[in-house]
Amino acid sequence: MNISGSRKMKIPQIIDALSKLSCVDKDANWLLWFETQFLSIAGDDRQIDFEGFRKALHLSQSSFFASRFFSIFDKDGNGFISLNEMINGVTLLMNGTQLDKLKFLFQVYDVDGDGSIDYDELRIMLKSCVSESSLSIDEENLDTLTNTFFDFADADNNGSISFEELKNVFDKYPDIIDNLTISSANWLKPQKLRQDKKPFEKFWPFWLSWKHIKNYWSYFIFLSVFFMINTVLFVEAAIRYRESMFLVSIARGAGACLNFSPVVVLILMYRHIATLIRSTRLSFLFPLDKFIKLHKIVGYTIIVLSLVHFLAHLANFSFIEINDSINSNSSMVQYLFGVGTIGWVYGSAGLTGLLLLIILIIMFICSLPVVRRKGKFEVFYWSHCLYIIWYIVLILHGPHFWKWFVGPAIVFIIEKIFRSKLFHIIHYGRTFIEEVNLLPSKVTHLSITRPPNFNYQPGDYVFIQIPSITRYEWHPFTISSAPEMSDVFWLHIRGVGSWTNELYEHFNNAYNDKYTTGTPTFTGNTVDSLPRRLGTLVHRRFSFKGREKIQSQDERQPSTHTIRKYGGKYTCKSFFCDSRFEVHIDGPYGTPSSAIFQSEHAVLISSGIGVTPFASILQSIMNRFKLSKQKCPHCSHSWTGEIPSTILNLKKVDFIWINRDQRHFEWFMELLNELEMEQNEYGTLMDRFFDMHMYITSALQRTDVKALGLQMALDLIHKEKNIDLITGLKTRTQTGRPNWDKIFKELKENGYGPVTVFYCGSPVLARVLSVKSQYYGFKFRKENF
């Protein structure tokens, strides 16, 4: 490569030489990137030390793999890696045979270089894999992983694993060999290239495609009619004032639209009526799932029209003041801040118009996503309360607005009465928080008194107000319990903003203040995050092998328990509340998820705490299966021969839950455990009907060499014990982000009928899933509130 014989090479020389190598293929860009990185880090002697090597590979300072890779690449053992050593190592990994790559992997695991992998080396490697994957696996289960892997690989039982034995292990798992092939090149890619994401800006043509319009035809019809009416109103008013100045025509046109659009934005907030429509057969005619989005679009339209109306009048008045100052009776200041100029109420059009615009801008700024993302829901809530003043001022400003407004306003006032605290106390009676569970990641699980006439559907949500937290704020949360639960209903609330964090801290402090002493922590016990009835269920695990045996007891006293699952342990506080924790409820209100039983193949996708509506749905499905059991009058044998009729059109359910943190699965672990037990009880019927898929995105994918050994060990454990050590479920947890193209292609090929994707979670993922659903011809419904 160095034709001149000099040890120094310039970057253009390297790139030119590499481009001529026959082995350079589609991976050449990665190789060139890495060499550029090498030369940018290397010193004058064109060599890099361990620290430079680690940074080039984006590895942590304490990484086991960083030191192993460095020692393998450093052929002469001088503590530095030269450019030639780097090129040789990279070329081997990217273009070598599978045997060469297996040898490299064996070298990584063989720390002392004696030609075999002993138990301690294997354990160190697996522990490093756990750390690199951001997982929590305790020492006991790490020993289980090591023992299982070692016993499987050590075919001759001589206490060590030779290269041939490791090769034989990989030969039995061809998918692992494929992963190794991918991993060998993948770990060298720069982060930006590895992600290879398409910018969302490129997705905009999809929103105008025929597939998208066909899926959301009622939404597009609504928008078309809305803008058509605005256009007609604008043109009619502009023509009516055509003999006035051009600016007056523009202002009058925008003003005519502002008689109509503020009424529409109000109608889109009819919660009770929208929920009522959802329960009818005519629901498909209305874009109910898009009401919040439409509310925003109409709101933006009002802002634009208001600016046009205000600026046109301002420019017109300024023109008059400048060109006809003698005959002009009012100055600009009088027009903006005074009365007695123009307007039907005391000539206050200028002043009220300015006030309307100021209120509108405040509401707009305080409702921006950046405000809500920072947990400032209170800012959004209180600023939006200004709508009352805005409508009053608008009535004073526009002489004809009240004619448009009076009918919808009466309906809205009736809705507000039905949603008032007083009405709900009369209708439902007083409701209280009966029990509190403080779960990992600042999740507060509330069990709330369910009034006898509080009827809801799976996936519905409610607004709650807790006077102990704040006396006036209402916050929406999805009901996480099934409608079949009669005495209480559940909410799972994650601390992400001021109010939700205050809620968690409030009950945490209440627990500490009221119960200075409690039941001792039982290592090896678990407490349900979702108890089946009022009271805390304490589980004691008797055996690791197979499904855990469970002993239950009612524990009416407050207690702190150590939740110990296969992945680790942490504390959960559970206690019963007294009457001082009163809660007011407003609802329930319908959501897109309520349409699940009208679907044939439902795919429930959730990220993080977005699982709550689907927790309700899955519990309801499980309860409907239980109620459909047939029982023999002679031997008491029970069975379910077919899918219950209460499931309606539903033929297949796929549940996909994506979490960033391993501990987040604990929020609904009891529910998932029960689902798997029910699935086992119903046999092939439930197997055909329900599939569960779990993903943890903080962990490295199987395609990463730093996770390969761990993933293989987890596979072996799952095959031998039918248990997943990450969650404790039967379902094998997948690491990394889902491959949506692969998943959606399989869903389409299953043949259970039209697929409907229901999603609740991150808006970023929602955009991806919407595009994918459209591409594969699936319906897509996203939770909004």
Tens of pLDDT, residue by residue over 322-342, are 565 545 555 566 666 555 556
Please give the average per-residue pLDDT across 732-757, as a whole number: 88
Note whether residue 725 is domain-resident: no
**What is the predicted pLDDT for the residue at 299?**
93
Q: In angstroms, what CA-CA distances link 73 with 35, 68, 85, 146, 180?
A: 14, 9, 6, 27, 18
Q: What residues are paired with 574 via a beta bridge? A: 437, 559
In DSSP terms, 478 is beta-bridged to 461
| Element housing 81 (H / E) | strand 81-82
What is the distance of C-alpha 451 from the center of its chain? 31
Beta strands at 160-161 and 431-439: parallel, antiparallel or unpaired:
unpaired
pLDDT at 426 over 80: yes
Residues 262 and 387 in one domain: yes
- R_g of the chain computed on alpha carbons: 32
In a domain, 757, yes or no: yes
Which residue from 55, 717, 189 is spatially nearest to 709, judged by alpha carbons? 717
Query: Can you tell me the mean pLDDT for 34-38?
Result: 64
Q: How confident is the model at residue 235 (pLDDT cuts 50, 70, 90)?
A: very high
Contact 238, 249 (CB under 8 A): yes
365 and 459 in a common domain: no
Same domain, 16 and 85: yes
Instruction: Looking at the structure, tell me whether residues 534 and 395 fall in a common domain.
Output: no
Q: Phi/psi class of residue 568: alpha, beta or left (left: φ > 0; alpha: ψ in -120 to 50)?
A: left
Residue 768 lies in a domain: yes
Q: Which residue has the tokens 């004032």?
A: 241
Q: Same domain for 600 and 643?
A: yes
Q: Using an 8 Å Cβ cutoff, are 360 and 298 in contact?
A: no
Q: Answer whether residue 212 is part of any domain.
A: no
> Which of the listed residues 368, 388, 418 is the one where a domain comes to its end?
418
Residue 666, Cβ neighbours under 10 Å: how many? 26
Contacts of 269 (CB under 8 A, 6+ apart): 291, 295, 412
CA 113, CA 30: separation in Å to the nearest integer?
A: 29
Instruction: Report whether pLDDT(12) > 70.
Output: no
Q: What is the pLDDT of residue 3?
A: 45
- Residue 757's SS3 state is strand
| Per-residue H/E/C for 691-719 | EEEEEECCCCCCCCCCCHHHHHHHHHHHH
In a domain, 711, yes or no: no
pLDDT number for residue 539: 33
Residue 571 above 90 pLDDT?
no
Q: Looking at the predicted structure, is the pLDDT value of residue 30 above 70?
A: no
CATH number at residue 11: 1.10.238
Q: Where are the beta strands (DSSP E) in 549-671?
A: 554-555, 559-565, 568-576, 582-589, 601-607, 630-631, 638-639, 652-659
499/554 same-domain check: yes
Does any domain span residue 298? yes
What is the mean predicted confidence (pLDDT) over 756-760? 91
203 lies in a domain?
A: no
| Contacts of 495 by beta carbon, 8 Å cutoff, 6+ apart | 441, 442, 443, 444, 501, 503, 504
Return the pLDDT at 257.
Answer: 94
Same domain, 604 and 746: yes
Reduce the DSSP state of residue 27 to 3 states and report it: coil
pLDDT of residue 259: 93
pLDDT digits (tens, 9 = 90+) for 445-486: 889 889 888 888 888 899 998 888 888 788 889 898 888 888
Which residues in 291-304 are b (16+ Cβ under 10 Å) and which e? beebbebbbebbbe
DSSP string for residues in 275-324? HHHHTSTTGGGS-GGGHHHHHHHHHHHHHHHHHHHHHHHHHHHHHHHHH-
pLDDT at residue 359 in the model:
93
CA-to-CA distance for 682 and 684, rounded, in angstroms? 7
Question: 591 near 459, Cβ under 8 Å?
Answer: yes
Helix (H) or strand (E) holding 402: helix 401-418
Residue 447 to residues 102, 434, 438, 485, 671, Cα–Cα distance (Å): 54, 5, 12, 11, 15
Could you tell me the CATH number of the domain that includes residue 767? 3.40.50.80
The answer to whether residue 668 scores a pLDDT higher than 70 is yes
pLDDT at 191: 46
Q: What's the structural domain count of the chain?
A: 4
Residue 212 clears pLDDT 60, i.e. is over it: yes
Question: What is the rounded average pLDDT of the residues 680-708?
Answer: 75
CA 659 to chain centre: 8
Rounded to an integer, what distance in angstroms lies between the CA atom of residue 429 and that of residue 451? 7
| More confident call, 12 vs 671 | 671
Contact 529, 669 (CB under 8 A): yes
Strand-strand pairing, 638-639 and 733-735: unpaired
Domain range for 614 is 592-631+639-698+736-782
User: Which of 65, 132, 193, 123 is closest to 699 using CA atoms?
Assistant: 132
Q: Measuring CA to CA, which residue among 120, 693, 532 is closest to residue 128?
A: 120
Mean pLDDT of the region 389-407: 91
In the 8-state DSSP scheme, what is residue 342?
Answer: B
CA nearest 301: which of 262, 248, 352, 266? 262
Cβ 570 vs Cβ 576: under 8 Å: no
* Region at 436 (left for phi over 0; alpha for psi -120 to 50; beta for the rest): beta
Does residue 35 surpass a pLDDT of 80?
Answer: no
What is the overall mean pLDDT for the chain?
Answer: 76
What pairs with residue 569 in β-bridges? 564
| Exposure string for 596-631, b = 16+ CB within 10 A, e = fewer | bbebebbbbbbbbbbbbbbbbbbbbbbbbbeebeee
The stretch 641-652 carries a mean pLDDT of 67
Cis bond upstream, residue 588 (ω within 30) = yes
- Give the span between the Cα atoms of 693 and 676, in whole angstroms: 12
Here the CATH number for the domain that contains residue 550 is 2.40.30.10
In the prediction, which pLDDT does 390 show? Answer: 93
3-state class percentages of the chain: helix first, strand second, coil last, to nearest 5: 55, 15, 30
pLDDT bin (cut points 50, 70, 90) of residue 407 is very high
Residue 31 maps to a domain: yes
Closest CA to 601 of 482, 692, 689: 689
User: Do 372 and 427 share a domain, yes or no?
Assistant: no
Tell whether 249 and 314 lie within a shared domain: yes
Do residues 495 and 503 touch, judged by C-beta distance below 8 A?
yes
| Contacting residues for 256 by C-beta, under 8 A, at least 6 apart | 233, 234, 236, 237
CA distances from 445 to 108, 270, 375, 428 (A): 45, 29, 19, 22
pLDDT digits (tens, 9 = 90+) for 721-730: 888 888 878 8
Query: Can you tell me the distance from the alpha carbon of 286 to that of 576, in angstroms, rounded to the nearest whole number?
Result: 43
435 contacts 570 by C-beta, under 8 angstroms: no
Q: Which of 482, 485, 448, 484 is nearest to 463 (CA)?
A: 448
pLDDT at 485: 84
> In the prediction, which pLDDT does 297 show?
93
Q: Give yes or no: residues 652 and 776 share one domain.
A: yes
Distance, in Å, from the CA atom of 109 to the CA atom of 496, rounded to the nearest integer, reads 42
Which among 367, 388, 418 is the end of a domain? 418
**pTM metric for this prediction:** 0.74
Cβ-contact 581, 442 below 8 angstroms: no
Same domain, 306 and 351: yes
437, 512: one domain: yes
Closest among 655, 651, 652 to 604, alpha carbons compared:
655
Q: What is the mean pLDDT of residues 203-213?
A: 63
